[in-house]
Amino acid sequence: MKVGIVGFGMMGRQIAQVFAQHENEVSVTDENHESLGLGMDEIENGPYGLKAAVARGKLSTTDSSTVLSRIKTVVHLKDACAHADLVIEAVYEDPDLKQRVFQEIDSSAPPTALLASNTSTLTLTKIAAKVKRKERVLGMHFFNPAQATKLVEVIHSRETAPETIQRGLEIIKLIGKTPILAKDEPGFIANRLGLTLFQEASRLLEDEIASINDIDNAMKLGYGHPMGPFQTADLVGLDTRLRNLESLFHATGDQKWLPSKALREMVNQGYLGDPSKRRGSKGGYYQFFRIEPRTEPP
């Protein structure tokens, strides 16, 4: 299968690697041409990249080179889409940007291609408002890090054709992921649940009811979550969390999605999450509040 990816930031890079590791030919593009070289470097050398996979015994050195050769960078969007069976839009969660990019994809991709958005909160209806082939449009929401997480949300609007939904589900299974199906509502399934937990955790912290450590441990030790809500936010990226919450608030008008003051301050000061996963970040919640994480309550 030939896959085009438009947007080569954090998620675009991860998605490209996943498809390439499952023997697909991938063409990627980004308006910021500098991102193309940075993205290829991250796929090769990043914390979830190919060299890390070789070190963990998941890939051989030969396989790693083969995977990298399947990913081609191109400057122009039309060149990434021209021969694709599937095009995935992976730009920032900005409705105007996504709408413009999707309109360009619609005019550049073959008429038989599936047109997918990696949107995490915005509705397909808004993103594809100016697309002619709405029956070919669906959402494929991958989770960070896409190389490691098994879940992909497949989203369908009222205009999405049944055969498009079926093909989308099949593609996700072919790349070793587990799809779940969601209707076209802001936040879909996982983000509605995950962000609800994060917002309640933020209120507990803001009201000084509990510490970051104890809130995280409540979910890890009490509910069996592998990470607490603040550790999860640090992994996902606090700038990403902020954008998702702002997007949900603007889409719904519901005050419960308003980001906390602390989250805004952290992002503004360069605390974007786990520094081992986010290059250039000063840290996440534990660094900003200057506390040491512990794995068990006192």
Active site (annotated) includes residue 141: yes
pLDDT bucket at 298, cuts 50 / 70 / 90: very low
Instruction: List pLDDT tens digits, range 2-37.
Output: 999 999 999 999 999 999 999 999 999 999 999 999
What is the percent of the chain with per-residue pLDDT over 70, rounded to a whole number?
97
CB 240, CB 94: distance < 8 Å: no
Q: Which member of 35, 117, 153, 202 is catalytic?
A: 153
> H or E stretch including 116?
strand 114-117
Q: Which member of 24, 35, 191, 213 is catalytic?
A: 191
Active site (annotated) includes residue 69: no
Contacts 24+ apart (CB under 8 A), 165-169: 165/138, 167/114, 168/114, 168/116, 168/138, 168/140
Amino acid present at 135: E
Instruction: List pLDDT tens digits, range 214-223.
Output: 999 999 999 9
In 3D space, the residue among 113, 52, 60, 58 whose CA is nearest the CA of residue 82 turns out to be 113
Q: Where are the beta strands (DSSP E) in 178-254?
A: 178-183
Domains of the chain by residue range: 2-183, 190-288
> Topology of domain 2-183, per CATH?
Rossmann fold (3.40.50)
Active site (annotated) includes residue 153: yes
Query: DSSP code of 172?
Result: H
Active site (annotated) includes residue 191: yes
pLDDT bucket at 277, cuts 50 / 70 / 90: confident
The mean pLDDT of 282-295, rounded to a whole number, is 81
pLDDT bucket at 296, cuts 50 / 70 / 90: low
At the top level of CATH, which class does the domain 190-288 belong to?
mainly alpha
The SS3 of residue 165 is helix
Among the residue ranges 206-215, 221-230, 283-292, the one predicted with the least confidence is 283-292
